[in-house]
Structure 1
Amino acid sequence: MNNTEIQRALDWAVAEVGIPGIVAHVKDGDQTWFGTAGVSDLKTGAPRRRGEHAQIGSGGKSVMAAILLGLEAEGKLSIDDPVNRWLPGVLNVNGYDGDTITIRHLLQNTAGLFATGLAPEIAHRFATRASFLKHRHHEFTTDDLFAMTVSQPPVGQPGERFLYANGGFYLAEAMIEKITGNSFAEEVEKRVIRPLRLRDTYVRPDNDTTYRDPHPRGYSRQFYKDGTDLNAVDGENWASFLEDPDLEPLDVTEFNTSWVPGNIVSTTDDMIRMVGALASGKLLPAEQHREMWTTVTTEGSNWLPYTRYGLGLFEFDPDVTGGRRLRGVGGSFWGAMFFTVSTEDGEHVISVQSNFELASWEVLQRIFEAGFGVTFTP
């Protein structure tokens, strides 16, 4: 691992991209390294440090997939069960068909669901500074999330193509609770936290807007200008509505994330252990591990570059990494970014967290190229 180049990437992310604070935690066999740049708190100037709690965002999707695959291994479901078997009628709305969409489709983002993260229910609450400040404590119920999932028509047939959609994972979480009779938090504790001996990972209650200490403050510039008519924003003109990039970032630490799939908080130490286990097959039986890493291309979806997607996780296309299989999870939203990537054997893992959204893919690219000794070549 080239720690000097990783540190340069961290320093560049703060100095040039404008990220308030960022960390990179590396495990390479028995060796570890932890680097930081910037601050945990812009007011106090407190530095970033190891062991800080943060929302893992869409990294929680991998946990849902692992739990459902574990239930399949126990004979309690099939990953190819139609959604209607477990949640009858929930998807029979607005052109969707719960008899043809399967659990696999949900976990693989190939169900034909629209991009739920762009739903008006999210955008109208959080897209401008004024609306964010007004709605930051809004709690989404399960019924709210179900309704949002089918609030717009399908974008394709089940299995036709990849399109990133949080909605499928709202359904996955509900299935876990229905099949087991336990809360999602209880199943995470039973099937992931205890087996992997994670010390600082937990499911945050839906009404909680705090973090266990220590934690960084979260900051964001991910906003349109106040007063923007969101109905006028489209895929061609959206950049013209963005707020002045010279504005000070908004402190978004106290933020209800009940709409984030899984709503899981963790640390870089725990994420290294978890993603290493998911990448290498230490958590699931061989058949379910194979299913988890049977991937589809994300090309043409405007998602992360150079990736293929399995069940709740991604893998960098080996054609781009010179044959290296690099597997990971990641998430980004207002005030937080958390990506963790591992080699196939789980021995070399890099976990990156910033108290700012993913402002530039180049931040991750520089860190992973330096840390894994690869060059992403399209």
Structure 2
Amino acid sequence: MTHNDIQQVMDWAVAENGIPGIVVDIKDGDRTWFGTAGAADLETGAPRRPGEYAQVGSGGKAFIATVLLTLEAEGALSIDDPVNKWLPGVLDVNGYDGDEITIRHLLSNTAGMYSTGLAPELTNRYATRSAFRAHRFDTYTAAELFRIAVSQPPVAAPGERFVYANGGFYIAEAMVEKITGNSFAAEVERRVFQPLGLDHTYVRGPGEVGFRDPHPRAYSRQFYKDGVDTATVTAENWESVLEDPSLAPLDVTEFETSWTPGNIVSTTGDMIRFVSALASGSLLPPAQHHEMWTTVSTEGANWLPHTRYGLGLFEFDKTAADGRVLRGVGGSYWGTMFFTVSTADGEHVISVQTNTEFKSWKVLRRIYEAGYGVSLG
């Protein structure tokens, strides 16, 4: 791998894939490299730069899982505890059973829960440009998020198969607060941010819609065509009902994201430190590290190809060219994509952030293929 190869991929991503701006941050042993392409601000043309803050999206799942595993290490809980032990009744609706669904099921996306991101209660608010403008500053209570999480019946039995669902992590995050008596923000600060020196990572506060400086502007084309019935959208057909890709992107930088698991903002540098620690086992005790990386298949789930899922993180089913296992964290929603992948020893980490949502697997695939010498096609 040469850094020129990765720079060429970034340039291609901007020129041919509709990405406004992209950064790639690399740690390889004692060596580091940082590359950019495109713009942080389409109006001014300002370039992307190191240290920019961005929402990690579903990367917050890994932080939630880590906090719960540290609590298990202290004897405060077992990840095989049923949900009803800590939040009785929350899941006892619409066909769910809080005595059967465990913390492990929530964190591994094997609780059989409906894919929360497709729930009409959420998608209707952001489905079109006009809806997004009207609802971008809506806030959600924990009770509302719980209701959305179980608004559709189960799609599988607990432990049966992987189904990606934010709803399980809404409940897991609330469990942290119930068990500790503290806010999730306070617990993740004490248990993760401080031990790892993540000085540029924080949980957005209630009603917080912007970012600390520096940050890129965020742009989205992730909207349905006018008139689409969101109830008919599935994980299989959603791409076919998206609006015309030739439309100019909408600036979505200011956006209330309390419905995002963890609601965490970070930088590529901090995410490199975080994922390196989780991949290598330098943060969690051996027993909890083993639990985090006991994975389930994602095959057939219309999710990331060539992956298995642990507790809040994924592992590729293909190794790097030198045989090292690859582990990572990722997330995407309106205006951002943030993926960080590390070798299992924590020595070689590649963090990618774009100021627009996930466009296709091919951008990430080409970056990680160039970086690790592995075929992910």
Using the size of structure 2 for normalisation, the TM-score is 0.97
- Distance in structure 2 (CA, Å) of the matches to 1:237 and 1:181: 42
Q: Which region of structure 1 is more displaced relative to structure 2, 157-166 or 223-232?
A: 223-232
Q: Which residue number in structure 2 is paired with residue 272 of structure 1?
A: 272
Task: Tell me the alpha carbon deviations over residues 192-242 of structure 1, each in whole angstroms, 9 at most, x when there is no partner.
Answer: 011001110000013110100000000011111223332444566544432
Cα deviation for residue 264 of structure 1 reads 0.1
Contact 1:149 1:167 in 2 (8 A): yes
Contact 1:206 1:257 in 2 (8 A): no
Task: Tell me the alpha carbon deviations over residues 22-65 of structure 1, each in whole angstroms, 9 at most, x when there is no partner.
Answer: 00000000000000000000001000000000000111111111
Counterpart of 1:97, as a letter, is D
- Distance in structure 1 (CA, Å) of the matches to 2:319 and 2:271: 26
Cα deviation for residue 191 of structure 1 reads 0.4
Contact 1:306 1:320 in 2 (8 A): no
Q: Which residue number in structure 2 is paired with residue 206 of structure 1?
A: 206
Cα deviation for residue 79 of structure 1 reads 0.6
Relative to structure 1, is the Cα distance of residues 319 and 269 closer, same or farther in structure 2, using a 3 angstrom cutoff? closer
Cα deviation for residue 322 of structure 1 reads 8.0
Q: Which residue number in structure 2 is paired with residue 57 of structure 1?
A: 57
Aligned pair count? 377
SS in 1 for 2:192: helix
Q: Which residue number in structure 2 is paired with residue 71 of structure 1?
A: 71
Q: Which residue number in structure 1 is paired with residue 288 of structure 2?
A: 288
Q: Which residue number in structure 1 is paired with residue 252 of structure 2?
A: 252
Q: Which residue number in structure 1 is paired with residue 37 of structure 2?
A: 37
- Distance in structure 2 (CA, Å) of the matches to 1:349 and 1:235: 30
- Distance in structure 2 (CA, Å) of the matches to 1:252 and 1:184: 26
Counterpart of 1:139, as a letter, is T
Contact 2:236 2:302 in 1 (8 A): no
Q: Which residue number in structure 1 is paired with residue 168 of structure 2?
A: 168
Q: How does 1:132-211 map to 2 (within 5 A)?
A: 132-211=132-211
Relative to structure 1, is the Cα distance of residues 5 and 319 closer, same or farther in structure 2, using a 3 angstrom cutoff? closer
- Distance in structure 2 (CA, Å) of the matches to 1:239 and 1:25: 29
Pair 1:348 & 2:329 matched = no
Q: Which region of structure 1 is more displaced relative to structure 2, 222-231 or 6-15?
A: 222-231
Cα deviation for residue 140 of structure 1 reads 1.0
SS in 2 for 1:370: helix
Identity %: 70
Q: Show structure 1 runs of 5+ residues with no match.
A: none
Cα RMSD (Å) = 1.4
Counterpart of 1:106, as a letter, is L
- Distance in structure 2 (CA, Å) of the matches to 1:310 and 1:347: 20
Q: Which residue number in structure 2 is paired with residue 329 of structure 1?
A: 329
Counterpart of 1:61, as a letter, is K
Q: Show structure 2 runs of 5+ residues with no match.
A: none
Q: Which residue number in structure 1 is paired with residue 230 of structure 2?
A: 230
Cα deviation for residue 181 of structure 1 reads 0.9
Q: Which residue number in structure 2 is paired with residue 125 of structure 1?
A: 125
Task: Tell me the alpha carbon deviations over residues 277-313 of structure 1, each in whole angstroms, 9 at most, x when there is no partner.
Answer: 0000011000000000000000000011100000000
Q: Which residue number in structure 2 is paired with residue 26 of structure 1?
A: 26
Task: Tell me the alpha carbon deviations over residues 157-216 of structure 1, each in whole angstroms, 9 at most, x when there is no partner.
Answer: 000000000000000100001111110000111000110011100000131101000000
